[in-house]
Structure 1
Amino acid sequence: MADECPKCPDGLPPWLATFADLMSLLMCFFVLLLSFAEIDAARFKKMAESMKDAFGVQREIPVMDVVKGTSVVMQEFSPGKPEPTPIEELRQQTTDVEKDFLQSEDQRSEAEEQQDLDIDVAKAAMQAQIEEEVEEQAEELQEMLDSEISEGLLDVETEDTKIIIRIQEKGSFPSGRATLNPDFFEVISKITDVIANTPGKIIVAGHTDNIPISTRRFRSNWELSSARAVTVVHAMLSNAAIDEGRFLIQGYADSQPLVVNDTSENRAQNRRVELVIQRGEDEDSGEVIKASEQ
């Protein structure tokens, strides 16, 4: 029976099936690439010509327009016409009440400026008057203390609204002590008679030279200068006509010399007690304000 069955003819070789599958896959791959790509007409025509030469004659399709890619955005959306956005203008209007208020504010500011100007003018006039009075009082002191000034015991000078009376150590204090010489009380009495009738703050400041001092009574020049200023104030307060609330006592030691402490003459000049009558700060402020208000 087996010999009676006809022999089947030989089929295609086995590798041909694998080759066919490979060609099919390559064709699908290129088809997908072609579907994803954008067609360039010029390059497509060249490719078609090369394919015609390779695979035979193809039908020619006339291309009227250049094939371009399609944009989804252009298909679904269209540009809108821009419309200008109106800008709202806010304008402030001033009412009559506000106008009156602004005018009153302007008038008030002008009045304040005029008042400040009047105060400045009154202060300048008062300053000039005080300086004139200071010069007259300084001249009166110089006439009363002419002999002491000639002997070099005192110096009287002015600085703006200040009268400065410098009491030198010569004739007033023994060296290194804070006790007034008995003969100098008469000089202090003359000064006090004039200062009692002169308004203003009285600053009594003691000064020394740069030679250190260290005794049982004074540990330094600071104590010596302060003690001499206190001694002068006590001598002046013997006159009941002068108010003790006007005094201000200061001790500077050798911190404010008049001249350089390089010779004995200069050091003697720096050893002093200064009486400074200060005008124009407190006692005249009320008069200036009253003058400006008038």
Structure 2
Amino acid sequence: MMIKRRPPKQPKGSPKWMVTFADLVTLVLVFFILLFSMSQIDIVKFKAMAQSFKQQAMFDNQSSIVPGEYPSEEMKKEQAQKEEDSLSKLAKEVQQYLKEHGLEDVATATRTERGVVLVLQEKILFETADAVVVEEAYPFLNEIGKMLETKPNIIKVEGHTDNRPIQNTYYPSNWELSSARASSVIRFLSDNHDIDPKQFIAVGYGDTRPLVPNTSAENMQKNRRVEIIITDPKYTESE
């Protein structure tokens, strides 16, 4: 007696290759739909929508949609005015101190576009051809240091000399002398007062930036100086 074999059952559903093919066709279709949609942008409607965002009052009053994340223009102006008032007040305080202690002939304080500029003649700070701060200068520099403790501004200290050449064991030229004097003033202020050292910049100009021509002993004395600039944040060095 012959036994009939049943034919193998065919798998249900579509062939396996059909799934991959369908995915590929779908991706291609989506790609062409995106291309089509991008090519059909109504430029008039797009500009109208962009203009509507510009006219929103929220963007005029707050530069960021997240409240308080960025300061508004009004807040920036208020901050700038506070800094301006702070520097002007500092200049007046220093001027008053100089007047009360009879130092107006050897030191000045002015408010300029650079900030508050203190010009200190050599004889109030150093011996001739030396960069060690004399003890007589301690009270004055300490007073300046107290005023600067609350100021976050960059403090630039510049050393200047007259045009007479110098050459000794410590300072081969006026470049080294002027740089050393600027550094000595910074070291005194940072060692004796709570001022972040990162706020300081020391520069030595030698005899390259005289206040007056080096044609007399009096003029040379004016050119031998240290300038302390409490910089205005709005000011940018041009050189």
The letter for the 2-side match of 1:141 is: V
Matches within 5 A, 1:132-143: 132-143=85-96
Q: Deviations for 1:79-137, whole angstroms, at most 9, x for unmatched residues?
A: xxxxxxxxxxxxxxxx78443311123345667x9589x96665555444322221111
> Residue 98 of structure 2 contacts residue 104 of structure 2 at CA under 8 Å; is this kept in 1?
no
Q: Deviations for 1:213-250, whole angstroms, at most 9, x for unmatched residues?
A: 11111111110000000110111112241111100010
1:158 corresponds to:
111
> Residue 207 of structure 1 contacts residue 270 of structure 1 at CA under 8 Å; is this kept in 2?
yes
TM-score, scaled relative to structure 2? 0.69
Secondary structure of the 1:215 match is coil
2:51 corresponds to:
106
1:40 corresponds to:
none
C-alpha distance 227-281 of structure 1, shift in aligned 2 (>3 A) = same
Whole-angstrom distance in 1 between the partners of 2:162 and 2:224: 6
> Residue 159 of structure 2 contacts residue 206 of structure 2 at CA under 8 Å; is this kept in 1?
yes
1:277 corresponds to:
230
1:238 corresponds to:
191
Matched, 1:198 2:151: yes
Q: Deviations for 1:39-85, whole angstroms, at most 9, x for unmatched residues?
A: xxxxxxxxxxxxxxxxxxxxxxxxxxxxxxxxxxxxxxxxxxxxxxx
> Residue 142 of structure 1 contacts residue 149 of structure 1 at CA under 8 Å; is this kept in 2?
no
Matches within 5 A, 1:1-294: 97-108=42-53, 123-148=76-101, 150=103, 152-160=105-113, 162-281=115-234
The letter for the 1-side match of 2:213 is: V
> Residue 114 of structure 2 contacts residue 229 of structure 2 at CA under 8 Å; is this kept in 1?
no
Whole-angstrom distance in 1 between the partners of 2:216 and 2:73: 47
Whole-angstrom distance in 2 between the partners of 1:221 and 1:148: 31
The letter for the 2-side match of 1:258 is: L
Whole-angstrom distance in 1 between the partners of 2:221 and 2:94: 23
C-alpha distance 119-280 of structure 1, shift in aligned 2 (>3 A) = farther
The letter for the 2-side match of 1:199 is: P
Whole-angstrom distance in 1 between the partners of 2:170 and 2:197: 26
2:12 corresponds to:
none
The letter for the 2-side match of 1:132 is: D
C-alpha distance 217-198 of structure 1, shift in aligned 2 (>3 A) = same
Secondary structure of the 1:150 match is coil
TM-score, scaled relative to structure 1? 0.57
Structure with greater Cα Rg = 1
- Structure 1 unaligned segments of length 5 or more: list them: 1-94, 283-294
RMSD over aligned Cα atoms: 2.9
**Displacement, 1:140?**
1.4
Whole-angstrom distance in 1 between the partners of 2:97 and 2:104: 14
- Structure 2 unaligned segments of length 5 or more: list them: 1-39, 64-70
